[in-house]
Amino acid sequence: MKAKNILVAKKGAEKKNTKVAPAKKSAAKVNVAKAAAKKAPAKKVNVTKAAAKKAPTKKLNVTKVAAKKAPAKKVIVTKAAAKKAPTKKVIVEKAVVEKAPVKNNAKPVAKAKTTTVKKTVKVVSAKHSNTVIAEVVPEPVSLIPPTPRNKVKSILVTQPKPESEKSPYFDLAKKCNIKVDFREFIHVEGISASDFRRDRINILDYSAVIFTSRNAADHYFRMCQEMRITVPESMKYFCISESTAYYLQKYVIFRKRKIFHGKQTFADMMDVIKKHKDDKFLLPCTDIANVEGSELLEKAKIRYAKAVIYKTVCSDLSDLANVNYDVIVFFSPAGVKSLFQNFPDFKQNLTRIAAFGATTSKAVEDANLHVDIKAPNPQAPSMTMALEQYITSVNKGK
């Protein structure tokens, strides 16, 4: 019995020993679990720290960039809208609108083919503020009508009627079958000898005289007569045109050696004047200064003096109040001034305007009128030629 008990005890001990082996395995498992527990938290901690380090920096960076860029975009868009919006509204209201092709999901932009009224936008931004105030500044609007193409049947020339029947205006009337009337818009009045002496100009101190018109020649010789001055035969005369040069036959014997002329303008006459720089020139003129002539003489360093011997006065045109012409021909800025002095509310409407010379054209345009016929030009050196070319093209529909 004892022996059996010993054997049983041994077998129980072996069984116990056999149970201990799984304990070692569980210990190994415990050790692995501990190792895993040690490693796992380390990984988690590292990942968490890395995520904690990286995530906030990304969020902060994104926030900063967004904070920097977003207001800038808003401000730029606001300014662009402030600049473009008013001009778009104005142009769309006054013009035919086309839709431009859409790009990058952008809104269609209105394009204007033609505009009659334009407005510029001035953007004023307040200091230390993102607000933008758009102030619309209108540009001056030209009320000049388009050139009419109806036939020309009548012309008003703002000069006195020619005494000779050989005037090219009479030939123009017959050739084109039109009516040509003459009416002085301005007239000149001579200055007395006593008023002329106040300028302290001695006519005999000058060896040459420049005549820009027949009026200048008339009043120059009138003044010499009133002051009892005998003009020497050696006096040289420079005329703006050939017709003015031949007009001097009324006062002096025509000689080519002492009478010179240009084609039609002061600039043309300067080519002849420059060949006589040794002479001292007198420029008889009206109270309305000839700026172009003075500038050309000064630029060429010509010795000269102005002599105001007559003044320009606007004529009374009340008899033309209810008369209409297809074309009005101007020869000086004073004529344009006389028109508005007599008729302050004058509207061009279908009336064509012809202007002779650059200063006259500028005076017409400054009065918000349209110049339809300009002379002289390369194709038409005279006003009658320019009128004939225009009338022929309009009346025949060319």
Average pLDDT, rounded, for the chain: 73
Q: How many CB atoms lie within 10 A of CB 397?
A: 7
* pLDDT tier at 223, thresholds 50, 70, 90: very high
Q: Looking at 291, 313, 335, which one is the last position of a domain?
A: 313
Kindly state whether residue 118 falls inside one of the protein's structural domains.
yes
Q: Is the pLDDT of residue 40 over 60?
A: no
| pLDDT at 351 (0 to 100) | 95
Kindly state whether residue 165 falls inside one of the protein's structural domains.
yes
Q: Is the pLDDT of residue 23 over 80?
A: no
pTM, two decimals, is: 0.52
Beta-carbon contacts of 263 under 8 Å, excluding residues fewer than 6 positions away, are 241, 242, 376, 381
Kindly state whether residue 226 falls inside one of the protein's structural domains.
yes
> How large a percentage of the chain has pLDDT more than 90?
45
Q: Is the pLDDT of residue 88 over 80?
A: no
Q: 355 φ, ψ to 5°?
A: -130, 135
Residue whose C-alpha is closest to residue 260's, from 245, 270, 274: 245
Q: Looking at 112, 141, 170, which one is the last position of a domain?
A: 141
Kindly state whether residue 58 falls inside one of the protein's structural domains.
no
Shared domain check, 352 and 243: no
Q: 70 φ, ψ to 5°?
A: -60, -50
Kindly state whether residue 135 falls inside one of the protein's structural domains.
yes
How many domains are contained in the chain? 3
Q: How many CB atoms lie within 10 A of CB 224?
A: 17
| pLDDT at 163 (0 to 100) | 83
| pLDDT at 177 (0 to 100) | 94
Shared domain check, 251 and 307: yes
Exposure on the CB side of residue 308, measured as CA atoms within 13 A: 13
| pLDDT at 388 (0 to 100) | 96
- In sequence order, what E strands does the chain have? 97-99, 110-112, 119-125, 132-138, 154-157, 179-182, 186-190, 208-211, 236-239, 259-261, 281-285, 304-308, 310-314, 327-330, 352-356, 373-375
Question: Residue 265 in 3-state DSSP?
Answer: coil
* pLDDT tier at 369, thresholds 50, 70, 90: very high
Instruction: Specify the higher pLDDT residue, 284 or 137.
Output: 284
Q: How many CB atoms lie within 10 A of CB 266?
A: 21
Shared domain check, 298 and 229: yes
Of 115-129, 157-171, 384-398, the poorest mean pLDDT is in: 115-129
Report the b/e string of 241-265 with b at 16+ CB within 10 A. Answer: beebbebbeeeeeeeeebbbbbebb
Residue whose C-alpha is closest to residue 352's, from 331, 328, 332, 376: 328
Shared domain check, 179 and 202: no
| pLDDT at 154 (0 to 100) | 96
DSSP conformational letter for 323: -
Q: What is the arithmetic mean of pLDDT over 15-33?
A: 41
| pLDDT at 193 (0 to 100) | 92
Kindly state whether residue 379 falls inside one of the protein's structural domains.
yes
Q: Is the pLDDT of residue 107 over 60?
A: no
In whole angstroms, how far apart are CA 150 and each of 33, 252, 348? 110, 47, 14
Rounded CA separation 102/137 (Å): 30
Q: Looking at 298, 313, 328, which one is the last position of a domain?
A: 313
Kindly state whether residue 241 falls inside one of the protein's structural domains.
yes
Q: What is the arithmetic mean of pLDDT over 174-199?
A: 93
Instruction: Specify the higher pLDDT residue, 255 or 315.
Output: 315
Rounded CA separation 86/64 (Å): 34
Q: Is the pLDDT of residue 398 over 90?
A: no
Q: How many CB atoms lie within 10 A of CB 310?
A: 24
pLDDT per residue as tens digits for the range 6-17:
444 444 444 444
Q: Which structural domain, as residue segments, surrounds residue 274? A: 187-313
* pLDDT tier at 397, thresholds 50, 70, 90: low
Q: What is the arithmetic mean of pLDDT over 360-384?
A: 94
Any idea what the CATH number is for the domain that residue 330 is in? 3.40.50.10090
Shared domain check, 386 and 320: yes
Q: Is the pLDDT of residue 85 over 70?
A: no
| pLDDT at 289 (0 to 100) | 67
Kindly state whether residue 147 falls inside one of the protein's structural domains.
no
Beta-carbon contacts of 152 under 8 Å, excluding residues fewer than 6 positions away, are 176, 178, 326, 327, 352, 390, 391, 394, 395
Q: Is the pLDDT of residue 206 over 90?
A: yes
Rounded CA separation 280/266 (Å): 17
Shared domain check, 178 and 191: no
pLDDT per residue as tens digits for the range 128-183:
444 444 444 444 433 444 555 689 999 999 999 988 888 999 999 999 999 999 99
Shared domain check, 175 and 321: yes
Exposure on the CB side of residue 234, measured as CA atoms within 13 A: 6
Shared domain check, 305 and 204: yes
Shared domain check, 292 and 197: yes
Q: Is the pLDDT of residue 68 over 60?
A: no
Q: Are 368 and 196 in contact (CB under 8 A)?
A: no
First to last CA, the chain: 153
| pLDDT at 73 (0 to 100) | 41
- Of the ranges 8-12, 87-91, 338-342, 393-397, the best mean pLDDT one: 338-342
Shared domain check, 158 and 262: no
Rounded CA separation 54/98 (Å): 52
| pLDDT at 129 (0 to 100) | 43
Rounded CA separation 177/49 (Å): 105
pLDDT per residue as tens digits for the range 347-360:
999 999 999 988 89
In whole angstroms, how far apart are CA 239 and each of 86, 119, 258, 269, 375? 57, 49, 11, 7, 19
Shared domain check, 284 and 192: yes
Shared domain check, 298 and 341: no
Structure tokens at 349: 């409407």
* pLDDT tier at 21, thresholds 50, 70, 90: very low
pLDDT per residue as tens digits for the range 262-278:
887 888 899 899 999 99
| pLDDT at 368 (0 to 100) | 95
**Edge-to-edge strand order for the sheet containing 327-330?**
179-182, 154-157, 327-330, 352-356, 373-375
| pLDDT at 262 (0 to 100) | 87
